Chains A and B, each alone.
Chain A
Amino acid sequence: MIDIVIHVLSAGLLLTGAAFALVGGVGLVRFPDLYTRLHAGGITDTIAPLLIIAGLILQAGVSILTIKLLLILLFLLFTTPTASHATVRAAIAAGIKPQGSEDPTKERASSNT
């Protein structure tokens, strides 16, 4: 009985994580500029490992494999947001403007004159 519950729970976690990864991949291709692509790639890079590795831990049971999977999850949760942050910082320092960031000021300037 408990085996079936664990298997169903694990399957749900794995498939949800796979769906999040796919959505992130589609966003990476479809979104119009760098910062929106980073939003798709960066956020799904945090949630997909969380769900998939949680599903794998449920399947692995209590062993050395579980500890190593937890370590991988810990590293990914620390490093992926850090890499996203560093990429945005480097892109802004290089002078790349977010799409649409200049339109409101133009409209305001034209309405004032």
Chain B
Amino acid sequence: MSPILLATILAIFTTMALALWRALKGPTVYDTIVAVNAFGTKTVLLIALITLFTGNHDLIDVALVYALINFIAVIAVLKLIDRHDLAAAEDLADD
């Protein structure tokens, strides 16, 4: 079963490299955010795969926490770009 896991891990690494290239090159800041979001999701999958690959089952908690942190980070960066302030409360949906 190990070669299959290794092949999946390598495919995920390739995808992460492609996403990183887009994040560095992206013409607008939103391209970067899309790429970073994809990168973060692939990181969670990578940690879950490495957990099964190495047999060290404690690692799965890292993936669990990373899944939550990734979402919060993307939303926080989007708000920071949109409002130029993390504490802004007013709704700009009308603009």
Contact = CB atoms under 8 A, between A and B. Distances in A.
A29 interface: yes
Nearest to B74: A83
- Interface size, B (range): 35 or more
A52 B14 contact: no
Contacts, number: 143
Main secondary structure of the interface of B (DSSP, over half): helix
Given A52-B45, A79-B70, 11 more contacts: A11-B1, A14-B4, A19-B11, A22-B15, A25-B15, A34-B30, A48-B45, A52-B8, A75-B64, A79-B68, A96-B28
Interface of A: 7, 10-11, 14-15, 17-19, 21-22, 24-26, 28-29, 34, 37-38, 41-42, 44-45, 48-49, 52-53, 55-56, 59-60, 64-65, 68-69, 71-72, 75-76, 79-80, 82-84, 86-87, 90-91, 93-94, 96
Interface of B: 1, 4-5, 7-8, 11-12, 14-19, 21-22, 28, 30-31, 33-35, 37-38, 41-42, 44-45, 48-49, 51-52, 57, 60-61, 63-64, 67-68, 70-71, 74-75, 78, 81-82, 92, 95
